Structure 1
Amino acid sequence: MLKFLEIKVGFPSARVLTIRSLCLATLILVSVGCQSPEEAAKEHFQKGKELFDKGEIDTAFLEFKSANQSQAGNADTYYYMALVDEKKNNLKSMRQNLSKAIELAPDMIPARLKLGKISLIFGEVDKAREQANYVLQKEPAEIDGQILLASSFIREGKYKEASDIVDSVLKSAPENPEAISLSAALAFERGEVDSVLSLIEKALAIKPENLPLRLLRIKAYSARNDIEKVVAEYESLVTLYPDVDNFKVTLASMYSMTGKLDKAENVLRQIVEASKDKIGPKVVLLEFLNAKAKDRVVSEYSALSSAAKNDQNTVFELSKWMIASGFRDAGVNGLKDVLSVEKNSDLGLAAKTVIAEMALGDKRYDEVDKALTEVLTVKPDFYEAKLLRGRLLLSENKVDDALEFLNKLVWEKKDADSAYQLLGQAYAMKNDRKQADRNLKLALDINPANAAAFFPVYEDYMKAGQRDTARHYLEKAIKAKPNQILFLIAMVEADVSEGRLDEAQEVVQRVALLSKNKAIPLYLQATVMQGKKQFQSAAELYKSVLIESPDHLNSMINLVKVYAAINEPRKAQDFLEDHYSKHLGNIAIASVLSDFYVANNDSAKAKNFINEQLKRFPNAVPLYQSLARIEASLHKDIAIAKDILLRGLEANPDSIQLSMSLGAVYEQLRDFASAKRLYSKLLEKFPDSMMVVNNLAALLIESPNSEEVDKGAQLAERLKDVENTYFKDTYAWSLVKIGKTDLGLQLLGQLVLKEPKMPELRYHLGVAHAKVGNKATAISELKQAIALSEKLGREFAGQSDARKILSELEHK
């Protein structure tokens, strides 16, 4: 029991004050139960758990945080903080908290299982399997651990291993919904659609809210091409998850694909109504109307602008969209309204700058300069106006001034993606490919959806065969701007080429909602059907595209492939001949038809057909190329092709296509002098053509004349930073030719890693190794070059030299 000290009246001594303070502190401690840090942490944790169970997530998190502050290092607290992160879909923080919990309590099985699942989401399959193996080592019968292990195998395409585990789980727990789900996923991979649907029904009966299963069922219906059931499933998802706009947008896309435009519009309007403060849904609605009912766009824009009259930023963004989408007058009037209200505020200055940008498009440069001067007088550091100043300099072809100005601008504003994009454009105009590429990538680091920067970078990687890198940029672009139609089209094409047909199908639905040209989603859907080997459906869709766009080249080519796949080439011929009769003079159709005749061993018919067309259309460049191939094949004499191409160039003297074809013929005839003269003239006419640069450099560096070799190597320097393996090979080979063998060897080694099945590269690498004395490696590379050539059925430039060098090395 505490003994209270008696305090005398009067001024207390310092000692008395101290005793009094201690007594008060003691009383306070007694009143709160004398809590230790451990007890305080336990109390905060318990309160947090109770709040978490009630669904009061934010308050629970504060309690867990207080528990950690009271006593750091409690595994249970970190685990529950991870559960809060899970509720908020904050996966990175969840992963960190789970890792901390496991660090403090290595045998915490629930934490390991959740961390394994998170690892799978992040694509870290090895880490997921590490958690599964740890759990199963401790508790071999743990079903969730077995399911996690099976899931990791599925991610790696090891379906047999996954299937064995799932079958084992289902024997002991036949009603386990996760195991049933994995079994359904494995059945889908095997193409057993009926089994998939049966298993999904069973699992949903146990756990109706299982979203992944419902999405898998949509894939199964899609694989059957059962569009009505896909639509019905999305209708169910919208009912079950009314706050998820993505499901609503996809449902609208499905309605659009099936011609139910009123229903599609109604769904989009629901999203707009539920998100009145968001601009995105309003833009999607306008994009839909622009694609499906263009005459209603202006009135809808007016209605949306009127409803947002107290939010001038919304009016500004909608007006910019109108201008970008071709409704210039309405958009400019909207910007003028914003300017009248906002005057010299940042928003008003932005509106004035965009109006000036319209004048730039019309080449009214004095008007642009005047507007920019007015804006920058009010606010000298206004970024949008400065950016337009850079565009103005480029438009006036003042490239050096633009470079100086834009380099200062990016120094002032580090997150200026559009300024970096313009810098890339300016360096491209100066033919500085390295700096152009660097700045375009810097723009994409800041804004992955900067379309003007994206497409040059993306297309360079695609041309160079670096598809994984190209996809990385594309995925980031779509994540930043999910409704950009050009990004979506690129994604469908990438998915189809890589066999990701279910993913492609989902993107096609979004394209169908937003595309102004209905032939585009039809064509993309046809490519998906073709990939799924649903050839009859694909053929009908390609025909529908050709009704809308008669000269759509890829649809004609793919239609021929589809009929070839089902062994009905005659149907392709009948269609193409009928199609051409309806569109006489269409060069694209004529070219495909003539190539079809050749492919089906009817060269005589192809020759007669093309000659007839050339009498009527002497400027049809593709037909001269086709005729050259046919005549050379018929007579087994490449010299005949030369005469036909020369005749084509008489009628089309500026055709780079015919000239390049002629150059290739000269090379095959080993008339290298004529080829060099031709390429030299082409380079004068087309100085920025990297193909011409490459072909001329490649010929010059093979010359016995040392001056020509040096000239070729100097020319090949322009290929140094081009993302094209063939062009970089020419540059690397030029280094070897002029004695810079170590540098050439290093670059060739890098290129072979990217393109291991390119015989030319192997040959050049073999020669480079021979030059530095690596005899065994040189022999190996030269043998691989020759073997690859034989396997591919084509010779490569320098093949005879490769055999000669190989023989010499083997007999040394």
Structure 2
Amino acid sequence: MRRESPRRFATLYHAIPLIAALLAAHPAQAADTAKASKFYEDALRRYERKDMAGAVVQLKNALQVDRTILQVHVLLGKALLAQGDLAAAEVELVESLRLGVDRAEIAVNLATTLSAQGKQLQIFGDPRLAPEGLPVNVQLPLLLVRASAYADVGDTRNALRSIEQARAIDPRDASSWITEVPVRIKARQFTEAMVAADRALQLAPTNGDAHYQKGTVFHVMGQVRPALASYDQALKLDAGHIEARLSHAGVLMDLGRIADVEADLKELDSLAPDEPRASYLKALIAEQKGDKAAAKTFLKAITELLDPVPIEFLRYRTQAMLLNGMAHYGLNEVEKAKPFLEFAAKQQPNSPLIKLLAQIALREPNVPRAVELLEGYLKINSGDGQALLMLASAHLNQGRHSRATALMQEALNAKDAPQFRTALGLSLMQGGQSLNAITELEKAFKTDPNQVFAGLALVNLYMRSNQGPKALKVADALVKAKPNNASALIVQGMARLAARDFNGAKASYEQAAKLDPKMVEPRLGLARVDITSKAFDAAHKKLTALLKEYPRLVDALLEMAALEDARGKTDEVPKWLNSAVDAASQREVRPNFALVAWHLRSGDGASALQAAKQLLAKLPEDVEALQAYAAAQLATNDPLGARTTLTTASRRAGYEPVTLVSIADAQLRANDLPGAAYSLEKALGAQPDDLPAMSLMTVVELRQGDSTKAEKRARQIIASHPKLAIGHALLADTAVVRGQTQAAVEALRRAHELDKTTASFLRLFGLLVTQDDSKPAFALADGWIRAHPSDVVAIKAVADSQARAGNFAAARRGYESVVKQRPDDVEALNNLANVLMRQGDPGALALADRALALAPRQTSLIDTAGWANHLAGKRDRALQLLRDARLRDPNNPEIRYHLAAVLAQAGRKAEAKDEVEAALRLANASRQSFESANQAKELAATLK
């Protein structure tokens, strides 16, 4: 049950020696916690005073004590960003996300950091930086960061769209108009840029940045004197505005006022002593004065400043790219100039800079490159005589992919030959049409058992579709026909292993290894046997030996990941999977699929999405790859994107029911009812009596509001499968939708009779317990638990219901029963701890800490432990934990109240006021109360 109503109940099992041991170990941990907390609180005060250097030192001191404190990483990321240490800031902000911070806390800072490093595309593709779902006070600045990033990549349309979205949140905020000016300038929409600048000044007449932006519009339009006046005004309002000072100096340079330029440069030396644009102005002045040595020195200063910066950081900073390129070119360092000039040219694709690059290419000589550059340039600047004189010719041609399936069908029309059917089957299999592939391969293998490829593919397809006996039969036939074929023995070993015939599998693999000692597959197979039979050390030894010989062997890397997973070393699994992805060829996709599946299983949607993008880049038309990508989209709260992806998958899936049902199930999770119906109609068109398709279509019809169709289909399932519970369960769903509670109960009782499982019990119990008279529900539960005393899932569900009903004594007995059977059940431990807190039992603290030790990133457990520490008088530890929980789930009013209560006790009343008011606002916005709402109101009243 959920933590908020009432508190998420966990448990206390009376194991006095264990609790004593936990408490005995606590003082050292408490000392470390107190030390780290003191560092953090001091850093927070320094950060508030804008002493970033001091804050960074203290935060790093805190991490020396404990690297898992979430709020330390968040504040360190912000302080490093303020210092301009971008890469380090990104590391800390991403680490805070990995540790579980809610994205709203760091989205703007992370987007700003990425933008400054030239990672604009990452901003758009990272679901953690999507504005949707964030509070409006975070959405507005994030949308403006995104707008600037869109402008950097030349996407004016989306840049302006982001600005309009930000403006809709707060039309009186001048920042949206200020942001719009450079976007319009990059699009050469100078009239619109001037309108935006004027509007910004109407809203914020004393904003120095607004005056600076108006100056930039005048400047690009060639109106140097109005530009100079705007820059003057900006500097009067903000003498430290570096961009205004540089632009001011640039205009003065154009006007030939060298003495005034030098005055500006003197100011810049104090404001930004390492500013490369100032060095370029100094080089120009030196050149005008005939001092070539000084000019060279200043140009060298530019390259020394910009060369160490990763070029990716500068990719959308055209001025910096061009500056460094021109500095190298001026120093006659052509090879060093090229990458910078090329990057700058990408941002200015039709500028004369292209001709400079072409000239460099011709000097190398690299004629094809020069031709490519010039042809593109001449499409826009067709009358440029200089470019025409430089032009050269030659282009590369690309081929097309063959249509294997169509060719094989054509061949079969001419002659029905087993080898043609094998080729067709393999082609169909590669195209994701497994059922049709099996049909063709079965025909080929039946006609000619010597069609080894057909047999090998059949075994693979049978195993993928859970037809183990058929796979083993074909494998045995292959070995009988080809007893000395190592490949046949290998697939026989696979089939035997799937049937858990460990000795048989081992014999097949060993025989294959004897036939061909150089093959790695038998050695991999033997390692798989060890993993499946839990001989982990033996498996590790075999795989380590393989990887020593073949460090980039994808199968060995994948098996190592499987081994670490089986051993419970989950932190090692993604390392091995990523190594497999890196080692894989463009056509090898198993590591990509495995990596997506792992991240989804681990709950890391953002990483799953990145892995799925890599997969889809390899297989853009593949149905399974599209499904994997859609699953990652759903895991990152992008149902609209998932719908589009799944629609494409459904269209490409052919008429295979298994695949279509899988797609429809995902479409349901994406709330795409028409899409799911379309997929299931295709499946039922191919196989009208397919039970999974019929069952899922019933669910779709119910969700579409057509209970008549749903009931009819449910009764059809009952008639065709009278011994299965699924039809009665679906009939119950129909009755619930219609409000026919008694009919639903009867249908669920019948389903439970046919299928006496925990799942059927929980469905029946769950419906009964919602009735006014809950006695039948608990009577059912008593009988089930007496008959199934080890069914911890059922016991927890019943205990949750008892806790919600306020029967804490009964709930406690239930949770204690679970903890006795499963000492490491974190949900039961947490719920029991909450029950004990309700009962005033001090044993709650030990249980809460025990649960947290088992799942240190689960927000509800962190909150429980924080509050238990607070109630136990351990304020420093409580404050650390509740700050952590609040960063992970800032929209949870209960957590924010808990933090407010502890902050108030610690004397940080301003911060406590912010937190408790946020808790009450969140509750009002959702129109839902929370457990401690009354206490929160009382606390707020004391902090007025």
Q: Shorter-chain-normalised TM-score: which range?
A: 0.5 to 0.7
Query: Does the aligned pair in 2 maintain the 1:638–1:665 contact within 8 Å?
Result: no
Query: Does the aligned pair in 1 maintain the 2:893–2:922 contact within 8 Å?
Result: yes
Query: Does the aligned pair in 2 maintain the 1:745–1:765 contact within 8 Å?
Result: yes
Q: Cα distance, 1:376 vs. partner?
A: 7.2
**Letter matched to residue 641 of structure 1:** A
Q: Cα distance, 1:665 vs. partner?
A: 1.0
2:615 pairs with one of 477, 498, 505:
477
Residue in structure 1 matched with residue 807 of structure 2 by the alignment: 671
Residue in structure 1 matched with residue 525 of structure 2 by the alignment: 388
Q: Cα distance, 1:670 vs. partner?
A: 3.2
Residue in structure 1 matched with residue 658 of structure 2 by the alignment: 517
Secondary structure of the residue aligned to 2:552 is coil
Corresponding position: 1:715 with 2:737: no
Residue in structure 1 matched with residue 368 of structure 2 by the alignment: none
Please give the root-mean-square deviation of Cα atoms over the aligned residues, in Å. 5.7
Q: Cα distance, 1:467 vs. partner?
A: 3.8
Query: Under a length normalisation based on structure 1, what TM-score does the superposition of the two structures give?
Result: 0.54
Secondary structure of the residue aligned to 2:891 is coil
Check 1:475–1:332 CA distance in 2 against 1; reply closer, same or farther (3 A cut).
farther
Q: Which has the higher contact order (CA 8 A, sep 6+)?
A: 2
2:598 pairs with one of 457, 461, 464:
457
Superposed, which structure 2 residues align to 1:290-329 within 5 Å?
A: 290-292=434-436, 294-300=438-444, 318=457, 321=460, 324-325=463-464, 327-329=471-473
Query: Does the aligned pair in 2 maintain the 1:701–1:710 contact within 8 Å?
Result: no
1:503 pairs with one of 633, 636, 645:
645
Between the aligned partners of 1:618 and 1:474, the Cα distance in structure 2 is 38
Query: Does the aligned pair in 1 maintain the 2:819–2:828 contact within 8 Å?
Result: yes
Between the aligned partners of 1:315 and 1:601, the Cα distance in structure 2 is 54
Superposed, which structure 2 residues align to 1:439-458 within 5 Å?
A: 439=576, 443=580, 449-450=590-591, 453-454=594-595, 457-458=598-599
Residue in structure 1 matched with residue 914 of structure 2 by the alignment: 780
Q: Cα distance, 1:785 vs. partner?
A: 3.7
Residue in structure 2 matched with residue 284 of structure 1 by the alignment: 427
Superposed, which structure 2 residues align to 1:595-744 within 5 Å?
A: 595-611=733-749, 616-617=753-754, 619=756, 621-622=758-759, 624-635=761-772, 641-650=777-786, 653-683=789-819, 685=821, 691-692=827-828, 695-696=831-832, 699=835, 704-720=840-856, 726=860, 740-741=877-878, 743-744=880-881
Check 1:499–1:710 CA distance in 2 against 1; reply closer, same or farther (3 A cut).
same
Superposed, which structure 2 residues align to 1:68-107 within 5 Å?
A: none
Query: Does the aligned pair in 2 maintain the 1:449–1:481 contact within 8 Å?
Result: no
Query: Does the aligned pair in 1 maintain the 2:450–2:481 contact within 8 Å?
Result: no
Between the aligned partners of 2:450 and 2:769, the Cα distance in structure 1 is 68
Superposed, which structure 2 residues align to 1:355-394 within 5 Å?
A: 355-366=492-503, 369=506, 383-394=520-531
Between the aligned partners of 2:676 and 2:590, the Cα distance in structure 1 is 35
Between the aligned partners of 1:121 and 1:792, the Cα distance in structure 2 is 29
Secondary structure of the residue aligned to 1:475 is helix
Between the aligned partners of 2:905 and 2:708, the Cα distance in structure 1 is 56
Q: Which moved more, 1:589-598 or 1:494-503?
A: 494-503
Query: Does the aligned pair in 2 maintain the 1:492–1:524 contact within 8 Å?
Result: no
Secondary structure of the residue aligned to 2:654 is helix
Between the aligned partners of 2:627 and 2:720, the Cα distance in structure 1 is 29
Corresponding position: 1:588 with 2:734: no
Residue in structure 1 matched with residue 199 of structure 2 by the alignment: none
Query: Under a length normalisation based on structure 2, what TM-score does the superposition of the two structures give?
Result: 0.47
Between the aligned partners of 1:370 and 1:126, the Cα distance in structure 2 is 64
Secondary structure of the residue aligned to 2:756 is coil
Residue in structure 1 matched with residue 884 of structure 2 by the alignment: 747
Q: Cα distance, 1:664 vs. partner?
A: 1.0
Secondary structure of the residue aligned to 1:634 is coil
**Letter matched to residue 778 of structure 1:** A
Q: Cα distance, 1:620 vs. partner?
A: 5.8
Residue in structure 2 matched with residue 129 of structure 1 by the alignment: 151
Check 1:639–1:507 CA distance in 2 against 1; reply closer, same or farther (3 A cut).
same
Residue in structure 1 matched with residue 232 of structure 2 by the alignment: none
Check 1:668–1:492 CA distance in 2 against 1; reply closer, same or farther (3 A cut).
same
Residue in structure 2 matched with residue 559 of structure 1 by the alignment: 701
Q: Cα distance, 1:714 vs. partner?
A: 2.0
Between the aligned partners of 1:412 and 1:494, the Cα distance in structure 2 is 35
Q: Cα distance, 1:401 vs. partner?
A: 4.8
Residue in structure 1 matched with residue 939 of structure 2 by the alignment: 808
Corresponding position: 1:399 with 2:536: yes
Check 1:610–1:709 CA distance in 2 against 1; reply closer, same or farther (3 A cut).
same
Between the aligned partners of 2:545 and 2:521, the Cα distance in structure 1 is 14
**Letter matched to residue 285 of structure 1:** L
Give the percent of matched residue pairs that are identical in Structure 1 and Structure 2.
Answer: 14
Query: Does the aligned pair in 1 maintain the 2:863–2:881 contact within 8 Å?
Result: no
Between the aligned partners of 2:448 and 2:508, the Cα distance in structure 1 is 28
Q: Cα distance, 1:471 vs. partner?
A: 2.5
Between the aligned partners of 1:538 and 1:369, the Cα distance in structure 2 is 42
Q: Deviations over 1:76-133 (max 9, x none)?
A: xxxxxxxxxxxxxxxxxxxxxxxxxxxxxxxxxxxxxxx9x9999999985663475x
**Letter matched to residue 720 of structure 1:** P
Between the aligned partners of 1:398 and 1:499, the Cα distance in structure 2 is 45
Between the aligned partners of 1:356 and 1:538, the Cα distance in structure 2 is 36
Secondary structure of the residue aligned to 1:619 is coil
Structure 1 unpaired stretches of 5+? 1-114, 133-147, 169-240, 253-262, 271-275, 342-347
Between the aligned partners of 1:530 and 1:439, the Cα distance in structure 2 is 35
Secondary structure of the residue aligned to 1:499 is helix
Check 1:779–1:528 CA distance in 2 against 1; reply closer, same or farther (3 A cut).
closer
Query: Does the aligned pair in 1 maintain the 2:490–2:512 contact within 8 Å?
Result: yes
Secondary structure of the residue aligned to 1:517 is helix
Query: Does the aligned pair in 2 maintain the 1:735–1:741 contact within 8 Å?
Result: yes
Secondary structure of the residue aligned to 1:450 is helix
**Letter matched to residue 460 of structure 1:** R
Between the aligned partners of 2:841 and 2:411, the Cα distance in structure 1 is 70
Check 1:335–1:522 CA distance in 2 against 1; reply closer, same or farther (3 A cut).
same
Check 1:561–1:670 CA distance in 2 against 1; reply closer, same or farther (3 A cut).
same
Secondary structure of the residue aligned to 2:847 is helix
Structure 2 unpaired stretches of 5+? 1-117, 127-145, 169-179, 190-396, 414-418
Q: Cα distance, 1:693 vs. partner?
A: 5.6
**Letter matched to residue 691 of structure 2:** S
Query: Does the aligned pair in 2 maintain the 1:758–1:788 contact within 8 Å?
Result: yes
Query: Does the aligned pair in 1 maintain the 2:530–2:538 contact within 8 Å?
Result: yes
Residue in structure 2 matched with residue 531 of structure 1 by the alignment: 672
Between the aligned partners of 1:292 and 1:808, the Cα distance in structure 2 is 68
Between the aligned partners of 1:787 and 1:675, the Cα distance in structure 2 is 32
Q: Cα distance, 1:717 vs. partner?
A: 1.4
Between the aligned partners of 2:598 and 2:549, the Cα distance in structure 1 is 25
Q: Cα distance, 1:560 vs. partner?
A: 1.0
